[in-house]
């Protein structure tokens, strides 16, 4: 249904994502909707998310690539720029989106966000406060959540 008249750009991006995946990232389209992707991102080394496997969903709206893809964490994660519904605060998903960006670049940016949380531009106030007040403790909580919710079982 939604797969008819799929723009060549989406087909090509999908092919490249499957044939040449970025390290630590996998993205595969759903069988019944080629605009819906199941995504897995490995927690980056040297980050509190190391060892975790994080599931995300990614959807390419009708206007894509003129409009940004919609991305959301499905795995619970303790991160100042990600809220409890899994929504992500990332500029390129909003006003800084450019049609020259791709699914791959978006996912790499999200991976980078896991390595470098930004509590000064928070989506989740409580976590950001925690992060700024006592970073060591917040990092511990993030590790704990990674063990609890993202251990890949």
Partner 1 sequence: MDSEDDMHDANDVESLDDFYSGETALASDEDDGDYEFIDNDSDDSEDRTSHRQQQNYIILSEEDICVRQEEDITGISTVLFISRVAASILLRHYNWDVSKVHDAWFVDEEGVRKTVGLLEKPVVEFNLSPKEPTCGICFETYPCERMNAAACGHHFCCACWTGYISTSINDGPGCLMLRCPDPSCGAAVGQDMINMLASEDDRDKYSRYLLRSYVEDNKKTKWCPAPGCEYAVDFVVGSASYDVSCNCSYNFCWNCTEEAHRPVDCETVAKWILKNSAESENMNWILANSKPCPKCKRPIEKNQGCMHITCTPPCKFEFCWLCLGSWSDHGERTGGFYACNRYETAKQEGVYDETEKRREMAKNSLERYTHYYERWATNQSSRAKALSDLQQMQAVQLEKLSDKQCQPGSQLKFITEAWLQIVECRRVLKWTYAYGYYLPEQEHAKRQFFEYLQGEAESGLERLHQCAEKELHVYLEAVGPSKDFNEFRTKLAGLTSVTRNYFENLVRALENGLSDVDTHGACSRTSSSKNLGGGGGSKSRGGRGKITSQRPFPSQTKGLDDTNHWSCQHCTFANLNSATTCHMCHNRR
Active-site annotation, residues: 89
CB of 91 to partner 1, least distance (A): 8
In the chain, how long is the greatest CA-to-CA distance? 51
96 CB contacts (<8 Å, ≥6 apart)?
none
Rounded-to-integer distance, Cα 147 and Cα 48, Å? 10
* 61 forms part of the interface with partner 1 (CB under 8 A): no
- Nearest CB to partner 1, comparing residues 89 and 101: 101
Element (H, E) at 11: helix 8-19
3-state helix, strand, coil in the chain (%, to 5): 35, 20, 50
* 117 forms part of the interface with partner 1 (CB under 8 A): no
- Span of 22-30, 40-48, 61-69, 143-151 interacting with partner 1 by CB under 8 A: 61-69
* 108 forms part of the interface with partner 1 (CB under 8 A): no
Helix (H, G, I), strand (E, B) or coil at 109: helix
Q: Residue 10's closest CA among 71, 62, 77? A: 62
CB of 99 to partner 1, least distance (A): 5
Give the residue, chosen from 45, 105, 126, 134, that forms a contact with partner 1 under the rule CB under 8 A: 105
x-or-dash pattern for partner 1, window 65-84, by CB under 8 A?
A: xxx-----------------
- Interface with partner 1 by CB under 8 A: which residues? 7-9, 12-13, 63, 65-67, 91-92, 96, 98-101, 105
């Amino acid at each position: 249904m939604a797969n008819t008249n799929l723009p060549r750009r989406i087909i090509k991006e999908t092919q490249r994502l499957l044939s040449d995946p970025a390290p630590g990232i996998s993205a595969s389209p759903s069988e019944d909707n080629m605009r819906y992707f199941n995504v897995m991102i490995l927690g980056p080394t040297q980050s509190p998310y190391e060892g975790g496997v994080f599931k995300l969903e990614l959807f390419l709206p009708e206007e894509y690539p003129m409009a940004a893809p919609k991305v959301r964490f499905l795995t619970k994660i303790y991160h100042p720029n990600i809220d409890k519904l899994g929504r992500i605060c990332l500029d390129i998903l909003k006003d800084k989106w450019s049609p020259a960006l791709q699914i791959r670049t978006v996912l790499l940016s999200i991976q980078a966000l896991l390595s470098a949380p930004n509590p000064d531009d928070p989506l989740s106030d409580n976590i950001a406060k925690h992060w700024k007040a006592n970073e060591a403790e917040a990092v511990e909580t993030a590790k704990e959540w990674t063990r609890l919710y993202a251990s890949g079982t």
